[in-house]
Amino acid sequence: MTLLPVISLTDCADPNALARQSTRIATLFGSTPTVLPLGGADPEGAAALTLLDLLRSTDLVGGPTQPVVVLVNIAPRDGHWPNGVPFCYFRHGDHLVVSTLNPRVLAPLASYLGLTRVQVTDVRTVLEAASADWADLTPDQVEEMVRTQFRSLWYAPLLARWLADGRPVPAQPAEVSAPVAQNVRVAVVDNFGNCKLDRPAADLPGYGDAKSILVHNRQQGRDVRVRCYDRLPDVPLGEPGITVGSSGIGFAELVVRGGSAAQVFGLVEGDQVFRLTS
């Protein structure tokens, strides 16, 4: 068995769930996983930016890289699926990503990494194919995993292990679409209180022209004009600014130099900052 590092993004974020997932992943892959709980106000938005950043972090290395496995478990908040959204997979270079089929999480990869399609799996179909060919699973065990609500524990790590081993996992292709222009939101609030937005700075209205943007301050209940800067060090101490941040591909950040933009503007992940015009 090839030992592979595993990074898991999940909204099943309580200590019990994290302990079980970590143990199962370690058992299957022979390495201690990095499990990132995403239980904030908008786990979908945080997962979308984090997944983009994670895959971007494998670039700019000047040579070959070691494969990693990424697990993403963020279910869409639409209640559409009878027992949870399907899991899909795709590869970014040599790296394997197994994810819930969440359009909002996957859309930035279409826009900025060129992802066009994923392979969608059905839990029963995959488990029955595995038990008939390469896995020692009884019909009762297959049925237990098909019916469970905790598929990110029982199914997703197995799917990833089998894909990493080159097993002939049955799947159907599905297209991934880039998002249309819409509300610009806070994707991630970092530990400094900087608000990482979900768009490149160059796409923001007025960023390259007037050099300032009207931002809604929820603390004050009014819109305030915030100047744009190229980098965080260019923002005057104690002042707010919109800069090119460290995330995505030139994604914008709303910052307060030496302070917390999230606190000053009353923002949490998922909050609308302003609206793009289509």
**Tally of CA atoms within 13 A in the half-sphere of 265 that contains its CB:** 31
Q: Give pLDDT, residue 274.
A: 76
**Which sequence spans correspond to the domains of the chain?**
6-175, 183-275
Phi, psi of 119 (to 5 degrees): -105, 120
Q: Give pLDDT, residue 50.
A: 97
| 3-state SS, residue 262 | helix
d(CA 105, CA 151): 18
Same fold, 6-175 and 183-275: no
For helices 139-147 and 123-133, what crossing angle results, to 10°? 160
d(CA 162, CA 152): 15
Q: What is the mean pLDDT of each run of 10 residues along the chain (278 residues)?
A: 88 92 95 91 94 94 91 78 83 96 94 95 96 96 93 96 97 89 88 96 79 88 91 93 94 96 95 71
Q: Give pLDDT, residue 278.
A: 44
Give Cβ neighbours of residue 130 (< 8 Å, ≥ 6 apart).
137, 158, 162, 167, 169
To 5 degrees, how large is the angle CA 14–CA 16–CA 19?
Answer: 105
Q: Give pLDDT, residue 1.
A: 65
| 6-175 belongs to CATH 1.10.357.10 | no
What predicted TM-score, i.e. pTM, was given to this entire model? 0.92
Query: Which CATH number among 2.40.30.90, 3.30.460.30, 3.40.1010.10, 3.30.110.30 corresponds to the domain 183-275?
Result: 2.40.30.90
pLDDT in tens, 192-201: 999 999 999 9
Which long-range contacts (C-beta less than 8 Å, at least 24 apart) are formed by 121-124? 121/86, 121/87, 121/88, 121/89, 121/159, 121/169, 121/170, 121/171, 122/86, 122/170, 123/86, 123/87, 123/151, 123/155
